[in-house]
Amino acid sequence: MSTAMPAIEHDIKDISLAPQGKKRIDWAEREMPVLRLIRERFGSEQPLKGVRLVACAHITTETANLARALQAGGAESLLIASNPLSTQDDVAASLVSDYGMPVFAIKGESTDTYRRHVQTALEFSPDIIIDDGSDVVATMIKEKPELNKKIIGTTEETTTGIVRLEAMMTAGVLTFPSIAVNNAQTKHFFDNRYGTGQSTLDGIIRATNILLAGRTLVVVGYGWCGKGVSLRARGMGANVVVCEVDPIKAVEAVMDGFRVMPIAAAAAIGDIFVTVTGNRHVIDRDHFAKMKDGAIVCNSGHFDLELNLVALRELSGEPTNVRPFVQEYKLKNGNRVMVLGEGRLINLAAAEGHPASVMDMSFANQALCVEHLIKNHKQMEKRVYPVPEELDKRVAKLKLESMGIKIDRLTPEQEEYLASWDEGT
Ligand SMILES: NC(=O)c1ccc[n+]([C@@H]2O[C@H](COP(=O)([O-])OP(=O)(O)OC[C@H]3O[C@@H](n4cnc5c(N)ncnc54)[C@H](O)[C@@H]3O)[C@@H](O)[C@H]2O)c1
């Protein structure tokens, strides 16, 4: 029976949740045709045979399907959570029970447990690390430098992790090639924009059951995620206000039809606030102090430091839990501020993360980049690489094929024209 305790090392919530997790993994798989094709090819070609791989990721149904593809390719994988609140416990149970993978991830785990799991991942002595936020890579460089020599390379899933990797490269401590999977066009154009856009609102609605129509929703950060959240919130009838520090992004938001103003001004008029900057304390003490009674605040950026919750606590005292994933802070001025998901990414804390069809492309990139590292690492330098363009385009082509959509091709005449310079008016 699938719920029997297997002899696989793990630290998960409850192995008996496996049957439900398995059903949900299979459900997501139906929406991941590109990853399925890769899994089938990996199964016959075995390009990852014998490779020890650590995946630090949100332990969701989609990640489970990435793990299946890597396993089919011959990799020995160990999985840990990339965030204390993003684990789906039933998925973790099924990965252990049905797929025989060591998993160390529990929804709501403490920061100490999270850090212990990072140590466990490093003790596994991986050849390749798939990281999400760069905590595993940063810990290895700081605390286990002896592993650096064994590492073939790493791949990084998210914007925040790439900022950290580039800082490591500048500091001269990156001693292996790393591929910035987030920066593939088939990743951030779709996952960050449409995935975060939809699932962030899903998280807010599941946590609060609030009506968005007619509310003022403030989006802090108009990058890929912020654009998606703003677009989808407008679609549901919210009045969207954007806060930015980059003048170009701010002009873009204005021309996309949104009101733009500093957070100090937006703080007083917002009903709902969403941060997606990858930066710290973008909603700070003074902003909380100005908020209306009942304001709802959440974050969908990678780390939980976008909201200065320490300052909010100082303004209000300890919060009370009013619903799952909703904490009410009563300020000394009498106003109440609701913080969702303890300031952790709300789409994963209170909802199920991105829909599978968008993660299909992100994780196809991950799987193909792992294969690329195995084939090419000897010729690669110790730096952060973009995803090879050919691979990015291959993912897009496969996605179109899976959707039954055909597109045009350049004719030889058009190719010649585009390569020439002498033919004008
Ligand atoms: N929730 C999820 O599932 C999910 C998915 C993808 C990415 N992310 C995370 O979301 C964050 C944003 O990712 P992205 O791809 O949109 O990045 P991005 O670089 O495209 O956009 C971030 C934007 O925030 C702006 N910004 C920075 N500091 C600011 C401040 N103090 N006030 C206002 N704006 C500020 C920047 O100018 C930039 O335009 C990252 O932490 C990323 O890792 C989360």
| 183 Cβ inside 6 Å of ligand 1 | no
pLDDT of residue 424: 79
pLDDT at 423 over 90: no
Whole-prediction pTM:
0.92
Tens-digit pLDDT profile for residues 281-333: 999 999 999 999 999 999 999 999 999 999 999 999 899 999 999 999 999 99
Q: Which residues contact 85 (CB under 8 A, 6 or more apart)?
A: 107, 108, 341, 342, 344, 345, 348, 349
Q: Which atom of ligand 1 is nearest to the CA of 347?
A: 1
Q: How confident is the model at residue 1 (pLDDT cuts 50, 70, 90)?
A: very low
| 224 Cβ inside 6 Å of ligand 1 | yes
Q: Residue holding tokens 């500048």?
A: 170
| 245 Cβ inside 6 Å of ligand 1 | yes
Nearest CA to ligand 1 atom 3: 196
Query: What is the whole-number distance in angstroms between the Cα of residue 167 and the centre of ligand 1?
Result: 17
CA 372/CA 178 separation, integer angstroms: 11
Largest distance between two CA atoms of the chain: 75
Nearest CA to ligand 1 atom 10: 301
Query: What is the whole-number distance in angstroms between the Cα of residue 218 and the centre of ligand 1?
Result: 14
Q: Which atom of ligand 1 is nearest to the CA of 300?
A: 1
Query: What is the whole-number distance in angstroms between the Cα of residue 220 and the centre of ligand 1?
Result: 8
Which whole number is the average pLDDT over 270-287? 98
Strands, E, within 291-421: which ranges? 295-299, 320-323, 326-330, 336-340, 384-386
* Terminal-to-terminal C-alpha distance of the chain: 74
Tens-digit pLDDT profile for residues 351-398: 999 999 999 999 999 999 999 999 999 999 999 999 999 999 999 999
Q: How confident is the model at residue 148 (pLDDT cuts 50, 70, 90)?
A: confident
Q: What is the mean pLDDT of the chain?
A: 96
Q: Is 330 left (phi over 0), alpha (psi -120 to 50) or beta?
A: beta
| 222 Cβ inside 6 Å of ligand 1 | yes
CA 200/CA 205 separation, integer angstroms: 9
Q: How confident is the model at residue 7 (pLDDT cuts 50, 70, 90)?
A: confident
Q: How confident is the model at residue 2 (pLDDT cuts 50, 70, 90)?
A: very low
Which whole number is the average pLDDT over 51-63? 97
CA 215/CA 41 separation, integer angstroms: 48
Nearest CA to ligand 1 atom 37: 246
pLDDT of residue 369: 98
CA 373/CA 302 separation, integer angstroms: 25
| 63 Cβ inside 6 Å of ligand 1 | no
CB 186 within 8 A of CB 392: yes
- Residue 218's beta-bridge partner residues? 241, 273
CA dihedral of 88, 365, 48, 89, whole degrees rounded to 10: 0
pLDDT of residue 273: 98
Which whole number is the average pLDDT over 328-349? 96
pLDDT of residue 3: 47
| 301 Cβ inside 6 Å of ligand 1 | yes
Q: Strands 326-330 and 320-323, how do they pair? A: antiparallel
| 208 Cβ inside 6 Å of ligand 1 | no
CB 204 within 8 A of CB 260: no
Q: Give the mutation target among 276, 348, 362 for probing the ligand 1 site: most ligand atoms within 8 A of CB.
A: 276
| 226 Cβ inside 6 Å of ligand 1 | yes
pLDDT of residue 169: 96
Q: Which atom of ligand 1 is nearest to the CA of 58?
A: 3
CA 232/CA 33 separation, integer angstroms: 25
pLDDT of residue 8: 86
Query: What is the whole-number distance in angstroms between the Cα of residue 288 and the centre of ligand 1?
Result: 20
Residues in the chain: 425
Q: How many CB atoms lie within 10 A of CB 137?
A: 26
Buried-exposed string 20-40: b where 16+ CB fall within 10 A, e elsewhere: ebbebbeebbebbbbbbebbe
| 221 Cβ inside 6 Å of ligand 1 | yes
Residue 344 DSSP SS3: coil
Helical (H) or strand (E) element with 24:
helix 18-29
pLDDT of residue 358: 96
pLDDT of residue 425: 73
Query: What is the whole-number distance in angstroms between the Cα of residue 276 and the centre of ligand 1?
Result: 4
Q: How many CB atoms lie within 10 A of CB 264?
A: 12
Would you give the distance in Å from CA 11 to the centre of its chain?
A: 22
Share of the chain above pLDDT 70, in %: 99
Burial label, 340 (beta-carbon count in 10 A; 0-12, 13-18, 19+): buried
CA 90/CA 133 separation, integer angstroms: 23
Q: How confident is the model at residue 6 (pLDDT cuts 50, 70, 90)?
A: very low
Query: What is the whole-number distance in angstroms between the Cα of residue 366 and the centre of ligand 1?
Result: 21
